[in-house]
Amino acid sequence: MSPVTNPTASPAAANAPVFDADRAFAHVRRMVEIGPRPAGSKELARTREMIVNELRSYNLQVSVDEFDTRTPVGKRRMANVTAELAGESSDQIIIASHYDTKLVKEFRFVGANDSGSSTGTVMEIARVLALSHQNKKPRFTLRFVFFDGEEAFCENWDDCGTEKEPDNTYGSRRYVAQLIDKGELKRVRALILLDMIGYKNLQIPRESTGTAWLTDIIWTTARETNHAAQFVNESESITDDHIPFLNAGINAVDLIQFGGYGEYWHTAEDTLDKISPQSLKAVGDVVLASLPRIEERLMNKNTR
Ligand SMILES: [Zn+2]
């Protein structure tokens, strides 16, 4: 007698790295413990150091782009963090989150969901993809980008700033401007942006300004991997770090729970107890499962 082997359970598949909900949640906890992390603060510098050290430990090429920018509260020094996993093609897919928290003076705002949840999830996605590609390059170059200064300094998104110099999305606008300066715009084939994806009752609507085919792939994948409860068939329009990319002609999607579900948004209640490791994992798993399909689509169609 020899044992019957299951042909679908190959050793490689059994050892394939998977998204670890506890690791992602631990990142969120560390950020919440650092406390409020508005752009330009020493707390955000500590957060950045934590992110950079973690990404370097996955053997990713990490770079920090520091820049000074004018804001309604004066000049502020900001920094985007980029970790790269080189692919067979120099064309890129970006998976991103902002990592600053909103400057709030009236109460202590620790931003467990906004932006701890998405930052921790992108970090864990980066670890899984780095491990998965130790012996074989991914098709596309994968970039994990952490934007500074997504939040407005004034109370509301549009209270201050001008159309040319809005008081929000400082880091993502800087990132796209750099792509243009370096002539790299055409190399960026897609952006998957995560923001506020940690609530226990996670319900992400389709973000309607995003690229339709990219959104369709992610929602189809969610349905097929039993995550239809988290990726709901409602539609909402959100202004976020994906807008500068869309404006530059880059395919982009924003995974975000806002609107009617964002009840703790920019309040003192956006704390760690609202965050579910399983929600982080649902988003991580869906993004990881969607990635080969997105790559396939980009290989087959010359989609801008
Ligand atoms: Zn926010």
Q: Please state the domain extents for the chain.
A: 17-300
295: Cα within 13 Å, side-chain hemisphere: 17
Measured in Å, residue 209 CA sits from the centre of ligand 1 at: 18
Between the CA of 115 and the centroid of ligand 1 the distance, in Å, is 7
Strands (E), 208-302: 231-236, 251-256
CA dist 259 → 188, 203, 264 (Å): 29, 11, 11
CA of 286 to the centre of ligand 1 (A): 23
**Ligand 1 center from residue 266 Cα (angstroms):** 6
Task: Give the per-residue pLDDT at 27.
Answer: 98
pLDDT at residue number 206: 97
How far apart (Å, rounded) are the C-alpha atoms in residues 216 and 197?
Answer: 18
Give the Cα separation of 238 and 255 in Å (integer): 10
196 Cα to the center of ligand 1, angstroms: 8
Q: How far apart are CA 27 and CA 37, in angstroms?
A: 14
**CA 105–ligand 1 middle distance (angstroms):** 14
Q: Which CATH class is domain 17-300?
A: alpha beta
Q: Reply yes or no on whether the pLDDT at 2 is more than 60.
A: no
Q: What is the pLDDT of residue 303?
A: 61
Distance from the alpha carbon of residue 151 to the mean position of ligand 1, in angstroms: 6
Residue 82 CA to ligand 1 center (angstroms) comes to: 21
Q: What is the DSSP letter of 116?
A: I
Rounded mean pLDDT of the chain? 94
Mean pLDDT for 98-103 is 98
Residue 84 has a pLDDT of 98
Largest alpha-carbon pair distance within the chain? 77
| Radius of gyration for the chain, computed over Cα atoms and rounded to the nearest angstrom | 19
The answer to whether residues 245 and 172 touch, using CB atoms and an 8 Å cutoff, is yes
Q: Do residues 90 and 138 touch, judged by C-beta distance below 8 A?
A: no
Backbone angles phi, psi at 91, to 5 degrees: -65, 145
pLDDT tens profile 253-302 = 999 998 766 789 999 999 999 999 999 999 999 999 999 999 999 998 76
Q: Ligand 1 centroid vs 111 CA: distance in angstroms?
A: 8
Distance from the CA of 238 to the center of ligand 1, in angstroms?
12
Distance 156 CA to ligand 1 centre (A): 10
SS3 128: helix
Tokens of 188: 């960026």
Ligand 1 centroid to 103 CA: how many Å?
9
Task: Answer yes or no: pTM beyond 0.85.
Answer: yes
Cα–Cα distance measured from residue 64 to residue 84, given in angstroms and rounded to the nearest whole number? 12
Please tell me the distance between residue 217's alpha carbon and the centre of ligand 1 in angstroms. Answer: 26
Residue in 250, 87, 100, 95 with CA at minimum distance from that of residue 170: 100
Query: Distance, CA 98 to ligand 1 centroid (Å)?
Result: 9
Q: Calculate ∠ Cα 34-242-45, nearest 5°.
A: 25
> What are the CA-CA distances from residue 26 to residues 32, 83, 117, 192, 218 (Å)?
10, 20, 10, 22, 26
Please tell me the predicted confidence (pLDDT) of residue 256.
Answer: 97
Tokens of 161: 């700033």
Three-class DSSP category at 119: helix
Question: By the 8 A CB rule, do 219 and 206 touch?
Answer: yes
CA of 167 relative to ligand 1 center, distance in Å = 13
Report the candidate in 211, 199, 295 with the shortest Cα–Cα distance to residue 256: 199
Q: Which pLDDT band holds residue 96 (cuts at 50, 70, 90)?
A: very high
